[in-house]
Structure 1
C-alpha cells in the first residue's frame, strides 16, 4: 500500500515569508529573507509559474531564469491553489489560520460548499471569512502605503476584499501596463509596498496547457516586462518575483470520474477542493464516530485509488502540518477525507450539474514538485 502522505521535506523559507519580509525591509527591520533595507518594495505574484515549467522554458524567460538561484526555490502552501496561496502571501500566515483552505470549501453555517475565488456573498463575508490581518493593513498601521496592481475586473471582488484589504487597488490591464503603473508609484511615493498580480499564465494554462503556445507567449511577455522594469530600479528599490503554485497538464483521457465507484461517494454529503486535491465532507453516520467514518472512507479510497493518489483524513493532514497551525474555526472547512493526486490525473464528479471545469488542461492543487515548487526571484536592492 502506498504511503498515506508523501515523504518530503518542505523548504525552510515559505511563501508566507515573502511579502512580510518586504514590509519589514521597508521598515528597516530584520526579516526571514534577509532582505536589505529599502524605501520601496515590489512583489510580483505570477499565477501558475512553477519552477519546473520556468526551467523547462528557460530560453524564453532569460531574465527570470538568470536570476533564479537554488536558494530561490521554495514550496508554496497545501493545497497548491490560488485562494490558499495568495492569502498566505498577503497575510504571512498559513491556510489553517487565515481560513482559505482550498478552491472550494465547506461553509458549515449554511451547509454548502463555497468557491473561495468567486463565490463570495452575504453568507460568506470576506471581512470575516478571511480571519487574519493582512500585511497591507499592518503596513498602513506603520505609516507605509500599500498598493495592489491588477486587472480592473478584480478590483472589487470578494477575494480582493478578503485577501488584499488595506491596499489601494490600481487597475491596469496588460502585463506591461501593470509594470508601468508600478514604476509610476515608485516615482511618486517616498515609501511604498507594491503587490503586482499577473494572472495571464494561469489563464493560458487552464485553457490550453502550460506547454501551449499561448502559455509561452504569456511567459515571454512577463519576462520582457519584468526585465525592463528591473533594469530601471534605483538603489533603494527592491523587487521579488514569485508565484502561488505550479501547473501540470492533464489530458481528458486522465480524468477519473470517481462517482462511478459507489463506495467512494456513498457516505459523502459535499465535495469540494480542486480536481487534483478533492475534499470529501461526510454525512453524519449513526453508530460511528466522525473519525471512524473518515478513516473507513479513506481506506476505501486507498484500495481503489491508492496507486495514483495520496489519500488521508483531515486529522492525518493536520497532524502532519500540511495546513500549518489550524484554528478551531477553520477545521471544519477542510475535507474529512482528502484525495491528493500524485499521478497526472484529475478527479471529477460526473453528477455535478456544471461540467465546465472538465475543459481545463492545466491543473494544480496537489503535493507534487510541479505544483508545489515556486520561484522567489530577487532583484534591485534585494538582489545585491
Structure 2
C-alpha cells in the first residue's frame, strides 16, 4: 500500500485544526494570540505552492506569509470534503462528505454533494451530522456569521456546513471582506466566516498559469489588504490547491476500452474517482486490472486499503464507509480520468483541477493577519 497522507490529519497545521484554533483564540487560549473577534477567510482553490510562485502578484498575502504559514488539506482535495472539514474540525471519514459525487447507498445513485441535496431528497442534518464550528461557538455564547453569495444562503450544502451561523449575503469579494471585518468589530466575541470563490473559478476555467488566474489573485490580494480592526484576528486559508491538466493528459474511460465491465457507478471527480463495482464483481480482479491499466496515470487502491492508510482520517463512520468507492483511482502528476458515460461532461473543459494528493493540491496557506499576525 504505497499511498500515505502528506501530513497527519490531526495536526494543528491541518485544516481540520483551524476551527478549534479559532475557538481557542476567542477564549484566550491555544497557539493563536487571544482576540476580541475572529475572521476565517477561505480563498477557494488557492494552494500554498501556486501562491508562493506568484508572490509578486499577491504582495499583501506574501508579506504576511512566513515559511511556517502553510498546512495540509484533507483527502480528497475537493471542496465538498475540505470545506466541511474546515467548518467542523473533523476529517471526511467522520463527517461523511467523502468526495464530489458519491453513491447514496440507500438509493444506489450518485449524488453531487455540492448541488444535489434537494433533488436527491437528502437531509443535510443527517447526511452531515458533525457539529459545525458555528454551533460550537454559539453554544459558548459567541455571535456567529457566514458571508457568501445570496444563492448559497439556503442551499443544502450550506445547511450541512454553515448551520449555527447567521448567513449574510454579499455580492463581491470586496463587499464580503468588508462585511466580515465590520461584523467582527461590531460584535464582541464573534466568529465570522468569509468565503471567496473567485480564484477557484478562474483556475477551473483558465488554469493557474493564465492571465485570468493571476488577475483573480491580484483582486483577492487587494481585497484582503483592507485594514483589520484592532483586536480582531483574521486567518486566511484555502480548502485545497490546484494543478493544470492539459488535454493530452486526459484519459477517457469508455466502454470500448472495457472500463465499465463489472462497474456500477464511477463517481468522485477526474483526479479522484470513486469506483463502485457490481455486487457480484470480482473486486480483486478489478483492482488488479485497474492498477495495471492505469499504471502511470493513477494510483488505484481498494476501499479497505484507503481506510487502513488513514486517507479519510483515523475514525471512519459506517455512513462514510458506505459512500466510499470500492476502488479509488487517485491521479498522479497532472493527469485526469473522465468517465465517458457520465451524464455531465462539463468537467472535461476544465483546465485547473484538484482532488488528488500532489503537493500543489494538498498544501494550503494558513496566513495570520490582524491581531493574529506574529
User: TM-score band (shorter)?
Assistant: over 0.9
Residues 107-186 of structure 1 correspond to what in structure 2 (within 5 A)? 107-121=104-118, 123-186=121-184
1:47 is matched with: 44
SS in 2 for 1:295: helix
2:101 is matched with: 104
TM-score, normalised relative to structure 1: 0.93
Q: Distance in 2 between matches of 1:8 and 1:43?
A: 24
Is contact 2:273–2:330 with CA below 8 Å preserved after alignment? yes
Q: How many residues align?
A: 370
Is contact 1:208–1:362 with CA below 8 Å preserved after alignment? yes
Is contact 1:47–1:199 with CA below 8 Å preserved after alignment? yes
Q: Unpaired segments of 5 or more residues in structure 1?
A: 287-292
2:228 is matched with: 232
2:237 is matched with: 242
Q: Distance in 1 between matches of 2:371 and 2:166?
A: 24
Q: Following TM superposition, by how much is the alpha carbon of 1:263 offset from its aligned partner in structure 2, in angstroms?
A: 4.0
1:290 is matched with: none
Q: Following TM superposition, by how much is the alpha carbon of 1:4 offset from its aligned partner in structure 2, in angstroms?
A: 4.0
Q: Following TM superposition, by how much is the alpha carbon of 1:80 offset from its aligned partner in structure 2, in angstroms?
A: 0.1
Residues 134-184 of structure 1, C-alpha deviations (whole Å, 9 max, x = no match): 010011110001101111111111100101111011111111111111122
Q: What root-mean-square deviation, in Å, do the aligned CA atoms of Structure 1 and Structure 2 show? A: 1.6
1:289 is matched with: none
Q: Distance in 2 between matches of 1:15 and 1:358?
A: 29
Is contact 1:4–1:312 with CA below 8 Å preserved after alignment? no
Residues 182-221 of structure 1, C-alpha deviations (whole Å, 9 max, x = no match): 1221232122000000000011111111111221111111
1:25 aligns with 2:17: no
1:316 aligns with 2:313: no
Is contact 2:45–2:239 with CA below 8 Å preserved after alignment? yes
Q: Distance in 1 between matches of 2:249 and 2:232?
A: 46
Q: Following TM superposition, by how much is the alpha carbon of 1:376 offset from its aligned partner in structure 2, in angstroms?
A: 0.2
Is contact 1:264–1:300 with CA below 8 Å preserved after alignment? no
2:344 is matched with: 354
SS in 2 for 1:274: coil
2:89 is matched with: 92
Residues 25-63 of structure 1, C-alpha deviations (whole Å, 9 max, x = no match): 112233xxx111112000100100001110111100011
SS in 2 for 1:312: strand
1:326 aligns with 2:316: yes
Q: Distance in 2 between matches of 1:22 and 1:318?
A: 29
For residue 219 of structure 1, the aligned residue among 217, 229, 240 is 217
Q: Distance in 2 between matches of 1:140 and 1:351?
A: 45
Q: Unpaired segments of 5 or more residues in structure 2?
A: none
Q: Distance in 2 between matches of 1:354 and 1:218?
A: 27
1:202 is matched with: 200
Deviation beyond 3 Å, 4+ runs, structure 1 = 6-12, 260-264
1:274 aligns with 2:264: no
TM-score, normalised relative to structure 2: 0.95
